[in-house]
Amino acid sequence: MGTKITVVGGGSTYTPELVEGFVRRADRLPIDELVLLDTDAERLEVVGGLAQRMLDRLDWVGRLRLTGDRDSALDGADFVLFQLRVGGQAARLVDETLPLRFDVIGQETTGAGGFAKAMRTVPVVLELAELANRRAAPNAWIVDFTNPVGIVTQALIDDGHRAIGLCNVAINLQRHMATLFEVDPDRVQLEHVGLNHLSWERAVFVDGVDRMPEILERHAEMLAEDFRMPVDMIRTIAAIPSYYIRYYYLTRTVLEEQRAGHTRARDVMDIEARLLEMYRDQSLAEKPALLDSRGGAFYSEAAAQLIASLHDGAGDIQVVDIRNDGALPDLPDSAVVEIAARIDRDGAHPLPLAPLAPEQRGLVQAVKAYEELAVAAARTGDRTLAVRALSANPLVGAEVARPLLEAILEADPAHMERFAPV
């Protein structure tokens, strides 16, 4: 029997990636109905049109449906995937630029920008999840790809939803290591530890053998160039950092770069405009190469593989955002962490891990404390909790937390109504 999958934010330019990933796994994941839900009807028509042409070209036998009706989209869904961006790229641009007025880094998922995005996003996601809880199939899964993934997934799981968070950082590195060692990706397993967008690879197993010592000895310069970090820093931490570690390790350097005026948001706005124009071409029936520049490399692989494994219970190991449940002894069981887990029909089962190194532990615990406060602030609209969250964030601090919060709320009153003074 096939399944129904609903993609919330189906008008995203990422959607063709997702469609391709599902079709590639049709043997493991037979889909009767794929529903793309979006509030932007024009954008949904454009993206959905390309999706349908791709599916027709690949002789897919299921049904694709485009809708703006949340109820019908969620009715009976077996899997609900969140890939929405509340406020669009315009809000992202503010997240990347406003914090600079307070001499702190502007970024869409970490620091002050990530906080603003969380305040806009968590209430919307929780509302949608509650609707899914009422209308979707019994025991339906929510898969969250919406940033900030760690905070959003923490809010979902704290509310009792059957949810797993997903990011493409780990699968990107896994594919990179597979290319480096000239092996199939399924022969590479990472010991991925930390939180979403605050993670390290402590080991890279190829056919069960840890190749990290060789990587650090022979390829540290390549890693330093890829992650824009000093090579001696890579060797000192004796691990492969995610790109986002740069914001924490090289804060002053990044701040100076950002003051030069370049923003990723403007790049993405340009790429999205070009992609949507391509998607309108009725002769286009495959994802364009430009989509790789959008920032979602291997998104389709990660999302489709996770959903396929939840459906067929394959028991393969994937890096996901889930409850800690004792896997990392440095954090409470209830904390959502980003680690490797075995995936089957019952969900993601975390693999046990050794404690974090002291320098990793301190940073992870600090950011987790911030995330806990951020979830509480997003739920309640409590300004005191919001100030405490920003104060606890290692990329912000107490000195600017209050005026920065006021600037964030003033910049986006439409999405920050819960913070309005009583």
Tokens found for residue 313? 């219970």
Distances (CA, A) of 175 to 190, 197, 207, 298: 11, 18, 14, 9
Tokens found for residue 174? 């896994």
- What local confidence, expressed as pLDDT, does residue 293 receive? 76
Farthest-apart Cα atoms in the chain, separation: 61
- What local confidence, expressed as pLDDT, does residue 297 receive? 67
Annotated catalytic residue, options 14, 243, 244, 299: 244
Distances (CA, A) of 26 to 21, 284, 314, 319, 354: 9, 22, 14, 22, 37
244 noted as active-site residue: yes
- What local confidence, expressed as pLDDT, does residue 261 receive? 83
76: exposed, middle or buried (Cβ count in 10 Å: 0-12, 13-18, 19+): middle
pTM for this model (two decimals): 0.96
- What string of pLDDT tens digits covers the 422 residues of the chain? 579 999 999 999 999 989 999 998 999 999 999 999 999 999 999 999 999 999 999 999 999 999 999 999 999 999 999 999 999 999 999 999 999 999 999 999 999 999 999 999 999 999 999 999 999 999 999 999 999 999 999 999 999 999 999 999 999 999 999 999 999 999 999 999 999 999 999 999 999 999 999 999 999 999 999 999 999 999 999 999 999 999 999 999 999 999 998 788 888 899 999 999 999 999 999 989 888 777 666 878 899 999 999 999 999 999 999 999 999 999 999 999 999 999 999 999 999 999 999 999 999 999 999 999 999 999 999 999 999 999 999 999 999 999 999 999 999 999 999 998 75
- What local confidence, expressed as pLDDT, does residue 2 receive? 74
